[in-house]
């Protein structure tokens, strides 16, 4: 079945450093979504990418969808302590209606 992997699993950065998490699917995706889950909280929708090669920005966050629509990345510039949490990608397989969540990347930001 469809698998969605994320690397790294954990990342500790100093405040102000950049951070990137990568998402890779075993199958071609119709679209991909990104979510953030704070410790003790529930996932919160960040963005959806649909087009091959699409790049979207939200303030310090840059999201990219690969040309082959099998991978994606989230880059945070100049991390802040408020960026702490687990970032999940969720890929929608081209042939189904459901989203499969990636394994997640847990980010810690050291002040």
Partner 1 sequence: GAVVSQHPSRVICKSGTSVKIECRSLDFQATTMFWYRQFPKQSLMLMATSNEGSKATYEQGVEKDKFLINHASLTLSTLTVTSAHPEDSSFYICSAMGLANEQYFGPGTRLTVT
The minimum distance between CB 43 and partner 1, in angstroms, equals 5
Classified as helix, coil or strand, 83 is helix
The minimum distance between CB 67 and partner 1, in angstroms, equals 22
Q: What is the DSSP string of 38-81?
A: -TTS--EEEEEE-STT-EEEETTEEEEE-TTSSEEEEEESS--G
Nearer to partner 1, 11 or 101 (CB): 101
Cα gap 95→105, rounded to integer Å: 26
- Footprint of partner 1 (CB under 8 A): 1, 31, 33, 35, 41-45, 48, 88, 90, 92, 97-104, 106
Nearer to partner 1, 14 or 40 (CB): 40
């Amino acid at each position: 079945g469809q698998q969605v992997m994320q690397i790294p699993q954990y990342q500790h950065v100093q405040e102000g450093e950049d951070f990137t998490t990568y998402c890779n699917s075993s199958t071609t995706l119709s679209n991909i979504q990104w979510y953030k889950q704070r410790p003790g909280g529930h996932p919160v929708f960040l963005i959806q990418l649909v087009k091959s090669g699409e790049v979207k920005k939200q303030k310090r966050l840059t999201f990219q969808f690969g040309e082959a629509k099998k991978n994606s990345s989230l880059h945070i510039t100049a991390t802040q302590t408020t960026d702490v949490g687990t970032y999940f990608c969720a890929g929608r397989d081209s042939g189904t209606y459901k989203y499969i969540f990636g394994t997640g990347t847990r980010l810690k930001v050291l002040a």
